[in-house]
Amino acid sequence: MNPFVRIREDIDSVLERDPAARSRLEVFLCYPGLWAVWIHRVSHALWGWRLRLPARMLSQIGRFFTGVDIHPGALLGRRLFIDHATGVVIGETSIVGSDVTMYQGVTLGGTGKGHGKRHPTLCDGVFVGNNANLLGNITIGENSRVGAGSVVLSDVPPNSTVVGVPAHIVYRNGERVLITDPHEIKDPLSDSLIALAGRVEELEERLGGQRRPAQQFTAEEAERTAYHEELERLRQYVSMGEGI
């Protein structure tokens, strides 16, 4: 495809997605996220021609001017929009589909443990909020949304919204998803929560026969309060010298 046609397509997609964008000229001149993508197209071509060092150097020059660090090996689809640009990192084996939007501070990174394909794959239409970290060889399904500040460590099905650290699904196919089982939280603390829930259940079972109805506690409390009030009234009566 003619590179100028692609540039025009990129600019038009920004005008569609960013309400702050007013004209093609403004988008061309003021959107470093787009410059980063254009520089990447050249560095990726160099990488493909096995000119690895020039490719890396060009991507670093791009990083210097745009604040976006895209490894020349990463595969980017059409109409990628990186809004605000600063601090975005896209690792070597990342694959980004078409019509993806991401904000400043997003990382498509490795976990530091893997080799080979070790960065995320984002399918078409994915939206990634600012400062989200997507780590490892995971796949974010088509049209899914990742909340700002989330840390995503496992695959996300298509048409879902994930939020949190670690991220969990809050919407799937337009339906709200509520977590009812602590196993689904996948938090380092979830094992403790599961153990605690089991212990509470066990204690409740043990206490089952000895439970007292709530109204008994309320009546006892009322009796105690009345007793203390009466005691206080007598104390004041005696201190005023009006007692016996």
Q: Binding residues for ligand COA, per CB under 6 A?
A: 84, 103, 129-130, 145, 147-149, 161, 163-164, 170-171
* Residue 57 or 170 with smaller CB distance to ligand COA: 170
Distance CA 155, CA 145 (A): 12
CB atoms within 10 A of CB 92: 16
Q: Which of 37, 102, 101 is nearest to 74 (CA)?
A: 37
Kindly tell me the number of DSSP H helices and DSSP E strands found in the chain. 6, 16
Q: How far is the CB of 82 from ligand COA (least distance, A)?
A: 12
Judged by beta carbon, residue 46 or residue 90, the one nearer ligand COA is: 90
Q: Which residue lies nearer to ligand COA by CB, 177 or 194?
A: 177
Secondary-structure percent of the chain, ordered helix, strand, coil, rounded to 5: 45, 15, 40
Least separation, in Å, of the C-beta of 192 and ligand COA? Answer: 22
Q: Return the closest-CA partner of residue 59 out of 84, 78, 38, 75.
A: 38
In angstroms, give the least distance from the CB of 128 to ligand COA. 8
State the nearest-atom distance from the C-beta of 169 to ligand COA, in Å: 10
Q: CB 145 → ligand COA: shortest distance, Å?
A: 4
For ligand COA, the closer of residues 179 and 234 by Cβ is: 179
Asked if 44 and 59 count as a contact pair (C-beta separation under 8 A), the reply is: no
For residue 177, what are the CA distances in angstroms to 144, 163, 171, 184, 195? 14, 12, 5, 11, 24
Residue 62 Cβ vs ligand COA, minimum distance, rounded to whole Å: 21
Q: Which is nearer to ligand COA, 13 or 161 (CB)?
A: 161
* Residue 166, preceding peptide bond in cis (omega within 30° of 0): yes
The residues with which 162 forms a beta bridge, in sequence order, are 146, 169
**Toward ligand COA, which CB reaches closer, 19 or 241?**
19
Which residue number, 56 or 84, has a Cβ lying nearer to ligand COA? 84
Cα distances from 86 to residues 70, 105, 126, 163, 210, in angstroms, run: 12, 6, 19, 22, 62
Distance separating alpha carbons of residues 82 and 36, to the nearest angstrom: 9
* Min CB(149)–ligand COA separation in Å: 5
